[in-house]
Structure 1
Amino acid sequence: MRIHVTELKEGDILSNDIFNSYGLHVLSKGTGLQMREISMLIQHHIDYVEVNSRIIQEVTIRTIESGLSPKWLPTVKPIYQDAVNGCEQLFMEAAQNGKIDQEDVNQTFQPLVNTFKLERDVVSMLLLLNTHDDYTYQHSVQVGMLAYYLAGWLGYDEQESLKIGQAGFLHDIGKCQITDDILNKPAKLSDEEFKEIKMHTVYGHQIITESFGESIAATVALQHHERMDGTGYPNQVAGDELHPVSKIVAVCDVYSAMISSRVYQKKRDLLIVLRELHRMSFNELDPHTAHTFIKHMIPNFIGKQVELVTGETGIIIMTHPTEYFRPLIRVEDHFIDLSIERDLEVKHIMM
């Protein structure tokens, strides 16, 4: 059946190879269309395509809703939970012995990397797996994985990215020395309690140094709350004094903390979180690191449903390479380019 690209639906299958006006091959016959492929057709100014008769299967709907291929779900969830449980064991080991074993870290973190390294939709992946339980341990797992991804986006090789991911995974290990009544307090912390919370950076540095000697992981544990403008803690170091990996983990730490639900904080809309990271990149977070993170996270929103400030809902078709928060949106049978329609903006992304 011949159909205009604006009428394509996720799950449609191409009946023919698609070429643009210059003869460049765009998509192959038999390709199952998702929003990324539909976006490609629009970018190449292709108006009509031939697709097979539509058969919308439940599996396709589940894929769109979750952002993860259903074949991954039975494998991903237990490995993620194993990593969370393994993180808890590492915290207990550190609390009891004042140090941890490298092999235990490897056995906990490596299966996570092996499973997730091919899954590019980090947004859906973390939201799908995130729960209200075990915030401290889930946060450590998430920061480790995000740091692994971000390191690769910044040009680090696989071995370096793995080491950086492990540093992110261990960044909060010092919290094993903080009592649960302070860590999980639902009300605002007193000055004394906040002073104690800030000590987790020092405790973490001590634990990792005792375990592995001076290392990137030890430095990250100490510096992940420092800020580029010198307003962080514990030592108010700033700018180039901060280790590059500390800058990576700082971005991932802020992102994970803001998307997570905690006893004292509701998780925030993802777009608000990324806008906050963008704001922080002008003073607190390293701009190159933060912008690289945002640039690679934003395309994961392609195919997601959004609500505009007008109340209209639509689907993100394409993201802008520099105007991160002004994508191309399909609303019913027409398109709205927020990089042109400056009086409109996305209010909410529905995950």
Structure 2
Amino acid sequence: MDLQVGDRTSLDVFNKNGVLIVAAHTALNASDINKLNLHQIDDVDLMIRFDGFTEEAQKPLNISQDEVTQQIKAYGEAVDGIKYLFESSSKTGKLDDAQVNESFAPLSNQFVQEKDVVALLLNLTNQNDYTYQHSVQVGMISYYIAKWLGQTNERAIIAGKAGYLHDIGKCRIDPEILNKPGRLTDEEFEEVKKHTLHGYQLIKDSKMSEALAQAALQHHERYDGSGYPYQIKEAKIQPLSKIVAVADIYSAMISSRVYQEKKDLLFVLRELYLMSFGKIDPKITQVFIRNMIPNFIGKRVLLTSGEIGYIILTHPNDFFKPLVQIDDYFINLAEHPELEIEEVYV
């Protein structure tokens, strides 16, 4: 009885005898709705509802210039903080817990205020100082994942700190290898992989928590044993390490590096989804995706066709094929497999 003309079905609708009444992806008219009533259909799964959209909902989320300035300032302070920790740890072989908290504070203060994670990532991602910016991003994403998993703010802050420090072991890797403008040799890659061991030892020697040390050690381990440094499998990977692993992969793939172009934020979510089948924690990945997707509503996008529009709604059965508005018409990407979103803008 709640159906409206223009509603679009997401699944085939059958009557109690198994007869198809309305096919999936049908834009319902008055006759369709009457037919559903005659067959006593109680429930219909809808994909999109055109009624009720407001002009504001179809535009990119407006973040004030003051908010953007505040975000950039806090982000920059957190980047400067992790850079200082890298430099001081390289010299002393230890981390100062008070200095870690002070460096992490600008980021943790933003957690309370920032709701649109996608806008924040779009505003703050660039290719300079990759190692340090990556640490800040992983700290931020790890915090949000923990919150979305239902953890307390205190535990989420710990997750954020684990992400912030996950790559601290790179302070003991030759900068020429870390900043090499090209693919690493096998020997160089083996050297880089040691950052997990260095990070673990550095945090342990600093008498910080075992959970933080394990996150530094295990964030490159994979469920199927294909990761490093110890090729351990699902059961032996610590819960905090699983969160940081998802955040680490996402941040790395959306970032520009000297030898790799960044990938679109929505594209990388789909890559994470594929990795959740055997590589990374499926529950954490699903929670991350489901909470990130609403942030894309209202964002401006470039399609592979060259057209530019706005994401209006997401498909309940395929998050990565949303409904896009271009000028005064709509494109349901679920019905156009030849079209993809090439880039998402602020």
For Structure 1 versus Structure 2, the TM-score category normalised by the shorter chain is 0.7 to 0.9
Q: SS at the partner of 1:306?
A: strand
1:186 aligns with 2:181: yes
Match of 1:266 among 261, 268, 278: 261
User: Which amino acid is the alignment partner of residue 348 of structure 1?
Assistant: E
Q: What's the offset of the Cα at 1:272?
A: 2.1
Q: Decide which of 233, 250, 258 is 2:245's aligned counterpart.
A: 250
* Aligned equivalent of 1:208: 203
Which residue is equivalent to 1:163? Answer: 158
Residues 89-112 of structure 1: per-residue CA shift (max 9 Å, x gap): 111121111111111111111221
Match of 2:52 in 1: 46
Partner in structure 1 of residue 126 of structure 2: 131
Measure, in 1, the Cα distance between the counterparts of 2:125 and 2:300: 20
The answer to whether residue 337 in structure 2 is matched with residue 343 in structure 1 is yes
| Deviating more after overlay: 204-213 vs 111-120 | 111-120
State the AA in 1 paired with 2:250.
Answer: Y
Taking a change above 3 Å as real, the CA distance of residues 263 and 201 of structure 1, as seen in their structure-2 partners, is: same
Normalising to structure 1: TM-score of the pair? 0.79
Structure 2 equivalent of residue 14 of structure 1: none
Question: Percent sequence identity over matched residues?
Answer: 50
**Which residue, out of 308, 324, 328, partners 1:329?**
324
Q: Do structure 1's residue 100 and structure 2's residue 106 form an aligned pair?
A: no
Q: CA RMSD in A?
A: 2.3
> What corresponds to 1:113 in structure 2?
108
Where in structure 2 are there 5+ consecutive unaligned residues?
Answer: 1-47
CA shift, 1:311, in A, is: 4.1
Given the alignment of the two structures, is residue 86 of structure 1 paired with residue 92 of structure 2, yes or no? no
TM-score normalised by length of structure 2: 0.80
**Once the two structures are superposed, what CA deviation does each residue of 1:75-96 show, in whole Å capped at 9, x if it has no partner?**
2222211111110111112111
Higher deviation after alignment, 315-324 or 174-183: 315-324
Question: What amino acid maps onto 1:167 in structure 2?
Answer: A
Task: Write the letter of the residue equivalent to 1:46.
Answer: G
- Taking the aligned partners of 1:64 and 1:342, their CA distance within structure 2 comes to 23
1:285-320 deviations in Å (ceiling 9; x for gaps): 111111111111122111122334444432110123
Q: Give the distance between the partners of 1:248 and 1:322, measured in 2 at CA.
A: 25
C-alpha spacing 1:44/1:118, structure 2 compared with 1 (3 Å): farther
Aligned residue number for residue 21 of structure 1: none
* 2:242 paired with 1:236: no
Matched residue type, 2:326: V
Q: Are 1:282 and 2:288 matched, yes or no? A: no
> Counterparts of 1:200 and 1:314 in 2: how far apart (Å)?
42
Q: Which moved more, 1:302-311 or 1:88-97?
A: 302-311
Residue 198 (structure 1) aligned with residue 187 (structure 2) = no
Provide the aligned length of Structure 1 versus Structure 2: 297
Which structure has more relative contact order (CA 8 Å, sep 6+)? It is 2
Distance in 1 of aligned mates of 2:147 and 2:224? 26
The alpha-carbon deviation at position 342 of structure 1 amounts to 5.0
Tell me which stretches of 4 or more aligned residues in structure 1 moved more than 4 Å: none
Whether the aligned pair in 2 keeps the contact of 1:92 and 1:176 (CA below 8 Å) is yes
CA separation in 2, counterparts of 1:311 and 1:126?
Answer: 23
Question: 1:219 corresponds to which residue?
Answer: 214
Check the 8 A contact 2:78/2:105 in 1, yes or no: no
Note if contact 1:309-1:347 (Cα within 8 Å) is conserved in structure 2.
yes
**Structure 1 residue 162, shift from structure 2 partner:** 0.2
Q: What's the CA shift string for 1:100-139, capped at 9, x where partnerless? A: 1111111111221212432122122122122322111111
How far residue 346 of structure 1 moved from its aligned partner, in angstroms, is 2.4
- Which shifted more, 87-96 or 216-225? 87-96
| Runs of at least 5 residues in structure 1 that lack an aligned partner in the other structure | 1-41, 57-62
Which secondary structure state, in structure 1, belongs to the residue aligned with residue 114 of structure 2? Answer: coil
SS in 2 for 1:114: helix
Q: Which secondary structure does the structure 2 equivalent of 1:307 belong to?
A: strand
Residues in 2 aligned to 1:343 and 1:90: alpha-carbon distance in whole angstroms? 47
Distance 1:111 1:158 in 2: 16
1:29-80 C-alpha deviation (Å, 9 max, x unpaired): xxxxxxxxxxxxx858338x8x9xxxx9xxxxxx948x63322123222221
Q: C-alpha distance in 2, partners of 1:138/1:181?
A: 18
Are the equivalent residues in 1 in contact too, given 2:265–2:344 (CA < 8 A)?
no
Q: Distance in 2 between matches of 1:308 and 1:115?
A: 32
